[in-house]
Amino acid sequence: MNHPTSGQPELLVLRPLMPAQMEQLEQAFQLHRYDLAEDPEALLHEVGGRIRGVVTSGAPGFQAAMLPRLPALEIVSTSSVGTDSIAVAACKEKGIHVTNTPDVLNDDVADLAIGLVLNALRRLGDGHEYVRSGQWSQRGMMPLGRSLKGKRMGIVGLGRIGLEIAKRAEAMKMDILYTSRNRKDVPYPYYATPVELAANCDILMLACPGGADTRHLINAQVLDALHPEAWVINISRGSVVDEEALINALQRKSIGGAGLDVFENEPHIDTRFQQLDNVILFPHHASGTTETRSAMSQLVVDNLKAHFRGEPLLTPL
Ligand code: 8YV
């Protein structure tokens, strides 16, 4: 498998795609499975000089430290919309293309965001446990939830995913407000800072990109601006939230709770989250459906094929 016999471009797979798309890759390219290698270092040593493309995803991403090991690299294709774990600037400096998977995941991620809001206000998880544990028959009606209708959803980052969340929240009769690097041409009220937004919303929905620019954008000051029944929902990146400040707010119940799909240190999250009763935790799986992961995988394949055919990339960065 590791010998250059086919004349096909050689790719290094850091994280595999869905099975159907792996088959397509296998037909068009010679694959080297870094993800499966018993000795990844030895694999790099053997084939690094011939690798022309890298296949990866948000985790493990692609680090600049790999570049000297891959002198023939032309393209890094990640099965993620987020590129905070990809050394984009270092790649571009060397003329290496980077592609990601925008748009195809917007709907699923937005659905999950609304799912977390529903779970928070209508207590879906609590209700499930109430029935399953037999409390319903012993105690009668479970405690009341809160309506979504009329609640103010403050969206941080009104990009492609944020807009899809807004559409769904509108359908649930919520009011939308937002903050973003730039004011958008939308009918929703704009707030210049997350603190001002937090002071005016019931749900603080985090939908901005991760990375250095947004690191700890949601800090103690923002959390203090939320009212005691407000929820933070995060489907963006764990790095956007100062987790120490969030855990503190959750422990002293200065906010209603947090619905989190993403964490600072995944999958080894801060164990204090697991001890809180005002959180809804999800394992970074907002795009985790067969349909969306297939579409993301297909985009990776199509970008790679386009590149090696000399055609324009579909979704370059
Ligand atoms: C994936 C994501 O879960 O697209 C993104 O940026 O965070 C998710 O869709 C991630 O790529 C998996 O590693």
- 155, β-bridge pairs: 178, 205
Alpha helix (H) ranges present in 77-193?
A: 88-93, 106-122, 124-132, 135-139, 160-171
**Is the distance from CB of 35 to CB of 76 less than 8 angstroms?**
no
Residue 197: domain span: 106-281
DSSP letter, residue 272:
G
Per-residue pLDDT tens, the chain, 317 aa: give them.
455 557 999 999 999 999 999 999 999 999 999 999 999 999 999 999 999 999 999 999 999 999 999 999 999 999 999 999 999 999 999 999 999 999 999 999 999 999 999 999 999 999 999 999 999 999 999 999 999 999 999 999 999 999 999 999 999 999 999 999 999 999 999 999 999 999 999 999 999 999 999 999 999 999 999 999 999 999 999 999 999 999 999 999 999 999 999 999 999 999 999 999 999 999 999 999 999 999 999 999 999 999 999 999 999 99
Q: List the catalytic residue out of 237, 243, 293, 307.
A: 237
**Is the distance from CB of 179 to CB of 154 less than 8 angstroms?**
yes
Take atom 5 of ligand 1 and give the residue whose Cα is closest.
80
32 and 147 assigned to the same domain: no
Q: Is 80 in the pocket of ligand 1 (CB under 6 A)?
A: yes
**Host H or E run for residue 53:** strand 51-57
Take atom 4 of ligand 1 and give the residue whose Cα is closest.
80
35 and 177 assigned to the same domain: no
97 and 141 assigned to the same domain: no
In a domain, 213, yes or no: yes
In a domain, 4, yes or no: no
134 and 234 assigned to the same domain: yes
94 and 16 assigned to the same domain: yes
Take atom 1 of ligand 1 and give the residue whose Cα is closest.
80
157 and 255 assigned to the same domain: yes
In a domain, 317, yes or no: no
In a domain, 226, yes or no: yes
Whether residue 60 is preceded by a cis peptide bond, meaning omega within 30 degrees of 0, is: yes
236 and 92 assigned to the same domain: no
d(CA 183, CA 246): 27
251 and 135 assigned to the same domain: yes
- 151 alpha carbon to ligand 1 midpoint, in Å? 29
241 and 129 assigned to the same domain: yes
Cβ neighbour number for residue 169 with a 10 Å cutoff: 23
pLDDT for 15-67, tens place per residue? 999 999 999 999 999 999 999 999 999 999 999 999 999 999 999 999 999 99
The pTM assigned to this predicted structure is 0.96
In a domain, 297, yes or no: yes
**Is the distance from CB of 262 to CB of 237 less than 8 angstroms?**
yes
Cβ neighbour number for residue 264 with a 10 Å cutoff: 18
Q: Is 109 in the pocket of ligand 1 (CB under 6 A)?
A: no
**Which atom of ligand 1 is nearest to 100's Cα?**
4
Count of structural domains within the chain: 2
In a domain, 2, yes or no: no
State residue 1's pLDDT score.
47
Residue 168 catalytic?
A: no
223 and 88 assigned to the same domain: no
In a domain, 250, yes or no: yes
Residue 284 catalytic?
A: yes
Q: Which residues are CB-contacts of 163 (< 8 A; sequence separation ≥ 6)?
A: 186
238 and 212 assigned to the same domain: yes
Q: Is 102 in the pocket of ligand 1 (CB under 6 A)?
A: no
List the CATH number of the domain containing 303.
3.40.50.720
The percent of residues above 70 in pLDDT, for the chain, comes to: 98
Cβ neighbour number for residue 90 with a 10 Å cutoff: 16
- 4 alpha carbon to ligand 1 midpoint, in Å? 32
State residue 5's pLDDT score.
56
d(CA 317, CA 307): 13
In a domain, 220, yes or no: yes
- 134 alpha carbon to ligand 1 midpoint, in Å? 37
- 312 alpha carbon to ligand 1 midpoint, in Å? 24
DSSP annotation string for 201-263: -SEEEE-S--SGGGTT-B-HHHHHHS-TT-EEEE-S-GGGB-HHHHHHHHHTTSSSEEEES--
265 and 143 assigned to the same domain: yes
